[in-house]
């Protein structure tokens, strides 16, 4: 979808569909009032006749109004005459998108940036508009022989009252498009099935991304390289699989050579059967999504490169497939991680932390300013926080706060869980330095505790996206692309600081 800015008098702009908000207030205001005048009160007449009251989500399509150059005028109810919540605004935009998608117009002019949203300025609500529209237009039909029909709508014009507004809109469009391009990539990688999206496939995609952007460098460590580095924990996960593990590194230099890099580390389990601690069969197909942390890294990298952010960014993707077989790791096996700490693997289904811990130790050599790992790590996180909010833990208050703030700003939120010392004891093992599971209580936190043993050298935070990375079952099943918006916002904020 293309977005452009349009200034000028609303009544005379030529477009397939002009979209105007109408609130439940007694009298029309803003663009609606301006247009009502131009068409001799046809809009207020429609309101008076009860064709539209302004209730949120209501819509009315009018054709060929006198005095208005647009072919169609779409009135969109915005509810009570007060700023909308993020959620209400998104719902409104989704409704608009559904109407436009099935409608006849190839282009539309939206005056929606003039609708007020709580705690959001023009830039911020316009970005949300762009991202929400793009989100609703995403399709995944790579494996359908009958491709989904493309929506007729190709172009959105955003109306601005003046030059200063136009600058805000331009920034919102460019940021929103970059974030959406990243989110789309994350969704597509997530939606691809485990037989296609293997660790090798991720490595290939990484090389393709780097080839398209010369500021981006990629290196792929093979199993023999990881063995030489002592990554016994990561390799214990791929031991049962015919697919070799890959440790992918992206390096982007947008800042000065001496600037310490920010780092992202993604869990890339391209399929999680549980290994010898085999998962039950119900919904096991959804464990193709167990690489959504990795997919998030790809999406963020794509966005950062296209935004040309003036920061240095190093990303690691720990990619492996978790399978049961004669060569698989068994419960009770003890492995030695790259950090030197020994790990008793009591449950081979707690494999995410096993690949991440070696990647997190490897991260030390890049002397990072901060490290954020992203992982579909625990089912317990879905129990604790549900599907709308990601779990967040860390060893650095300032970093955690920045991520919370970025999540709020991007409407892609996280909530902090306590990483208190008391929980660490749950990881004690009689035979090794640490066990890979901490029992039934506080499973998300003990997973965070496990990672914390490997991240003492730098400010670190961990995002558990088990609940937020994809929508489970049902007709809306699919990857969400979260938390790409949060992390790009975080990096935008770092670029400003
Ligand atoms: N990938 C799963 C976590 C998961 C499960 C995410 C369901 C989303 C939906 C992870 O590897 C896992 O299996 N975790 C175990 C940990 C347990 C063995 C301590 C879990 O959550 O059950
Ligand atoms: Mn698992
Ligand atoms: Zn997993």
Gap between the Cα atoms of 466 and 196, Å rounded: 21
Question: Which domain range does residue 107 map to?
Answer: 2-159
pLDDT tens digits, 301-342: 999 999 999 999 999 999 999 999 999 999 999 999 999 999
321 lies in the same domain as 456: yes
209 lies in the same domain as 357: yes
Last-in-domain residue among 90, 124, 159: 159
Last-in-domain residue among 100, 128, 159: 159
Q: List Cα–Cα distances, 11 to 74, 130, 158, 264, 418, in angstroms.
A: 13, 23, 14, 48, 56
Gap between the Cα atoms of 105 and 181, Å rounded: 24
**In what helix (H) or strand (E) does residue 88 lie, and over which residues does it extend?**
helix 86-102
In a domain, 170, yes or no: no
Q: Which atom of ligand 1 is nearest to the CA of 269?
A: 1
Provide the token pair at 416: 């902090």
351 lies in the same domain as 205: yes
Q: List Cα–Cα distances, 185 to 225, 302, 399, in angstroms.
A: 28, 8, 26
200 lies in the same domain as 124: no
Gap between the Cα atoms of 237 and 224, Å rounded: 15
Contacts of 65 (CB under 8 A, 6+ apart): 39, 42, 73
pLDDT in the model for residue 334: 99
Q: What is the pLDDT along the chain (497 residues), one digit of tens a residue?
A: 999 999 999 999 999 999 999 999 888 989 999 999 999 999 999 999 999 999 998 999 999 999 999 999 999 999 999 999 999 999 999 999 999 998 899 999 999 888 999 999 999 999 999 999 999 999 999 999 999 888 899 999 999 988 889 999 999 999 999 999 999 999 999 999 999 999 999 999 999 999 999 999 999 999 999 999 999 999 999 999 999 999 999 999 999 999 999 999 999 999 999 999 999 999 999 999 999 999 999 999 999 999 999 999 999 999 999 999 999 999 999 999 999 999 999 999 999 999 999 999 999 999 999 999 999 999 999 999 999 999 999 999 999 999 999 999 999 999 999 999 999 999 999 999 999 999 999 999 999 999 999 999 999 999 999 999 999 999 999 999 999 999 999 999 999 98
Give me the residues near ligand 3 (ion), CB cutoff below 5 Å. Answer: 269, 272, 290, 352
In a domain, 263, yes or no: yes
In a domain, 448, yes or no: yes
Any ligand 1 atom below 6 A from CB of 99: no
127 an active-site residue? no
100 lies in the same domain as 197: no
124 lies in the same domain as 207: no
Query: Ligand 1 pocket: which of 190, 288, 350 to mutate (most atoms <8 Å of CB)?
Result: 350
pLDDT tens digits, 89-101: 999 999 999 999 9
151 lies in the same domain as 210: no
Q: Domain count of the chain?
A: 2
Gap between the Cα atoms of 374 and 427, Å rounded: 21
459 lies in the same domain as 351: yes
Any ligand 1 atom below 6 A from CB of 468: no
Alpha helices, DSSP H, located in 113-162: 122-137
353 an active-site residue? yes
């Amino acid at each position: 979808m293309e977005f452009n800015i349009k200034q000028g008098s609303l009544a005379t702009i030529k477009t397939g569909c002009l979209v105007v908000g109408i609130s439940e207030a007694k009298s029309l205001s803003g663009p609606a009032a301006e247009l009502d005048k131009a068409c001799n009160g046809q809009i207020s007449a429609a309101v008076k006749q009860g064709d539209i009251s302004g209730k949120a989500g209501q819509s009315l399509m009018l054709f060929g109004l006198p005095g208005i150059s647009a072919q169609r005028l779409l009135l969109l109810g915005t509810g009570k005459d007060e700023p909308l919540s993020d959620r209400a605004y998104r719902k409104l935009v989704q409704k608009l998108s559904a109407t436009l998608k099935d409608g006849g117009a190839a282009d539309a002019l939206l005056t929606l940036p003039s609708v007020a949203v709580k705690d959001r300025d023009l830039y911020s609500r316009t970005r949300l508009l762009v991202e929400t529209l793009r989100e609703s237009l995403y399709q995944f039909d790579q494996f359908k022989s009958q491709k989904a029909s493309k929506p007729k709508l190709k172009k959105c014009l955003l109306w601005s009252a003046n030059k200063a507004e136009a600058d805000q809109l331009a920034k919102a469009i460019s940021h929103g498009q970059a974030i959406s391009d990243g989110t789309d990539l994350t969704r597509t990688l997530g939606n691809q099935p485990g037989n296609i999206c293997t660790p090798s496939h991720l490595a290939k995609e990484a090389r393709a991304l780097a080839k398209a952007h010369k500021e981006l460098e990629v290196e792929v460590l093979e199993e023999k390289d990881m063995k030489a580095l002592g990554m016994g924990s990561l390799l214990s996960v791929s031991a049962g699989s015919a697919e070799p593990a890959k440790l992918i590194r992206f390096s982007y230099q947008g800042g000065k050579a001496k600037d310490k890099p920010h780092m992202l580390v993604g869990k890339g389990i391209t399929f999680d059967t549980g290994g010898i601690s085999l998962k039950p069969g119900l919904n096991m197909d959804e464990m193709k999504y167990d690489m959504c942390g990795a997919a998030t890294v790809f999406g963020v990298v794509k966005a950062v490169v296209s935004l040309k952010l003036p920061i240095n960014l190093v990303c690691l993707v720990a990619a492996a497939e978790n399978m049961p077989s004669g060569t698989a790791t068994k419960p009770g096996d003890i492995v030695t991680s790259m950090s030197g700490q020994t790990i008793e693997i009591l449950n081979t289904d707690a494999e995410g932390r096993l690949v991440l811990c070696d990647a997190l130790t490897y991260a030390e050599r890049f002397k990072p300013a901060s490290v954020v790992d992203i992982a579909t790590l625990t089912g317990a996180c879905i129990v604790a926080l549900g599907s709308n909010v990601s779990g967040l833990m860390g060893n650095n208050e300032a970093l955690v706060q920045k991520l919370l703030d970025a999540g709020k700003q991007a409407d892609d939120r996280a909530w902090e869980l306590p990483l208190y010392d008391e929980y660490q004891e749950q990881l004690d093992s009689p035979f090794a330095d640490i066990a890979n599971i901490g029992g039934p209580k506080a499973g998300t936190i003990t997973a965070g505790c496990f990672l914390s043993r490997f991240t003492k050298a730098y400010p670190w935070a961990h995002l558990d996206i088990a609940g937020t990375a994809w929508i489970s079952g049902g007709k809306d099943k699919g990857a969400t692309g979260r938390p790409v918006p949060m992390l790009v916002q975080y990096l935008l904020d770092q670029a400003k600081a």
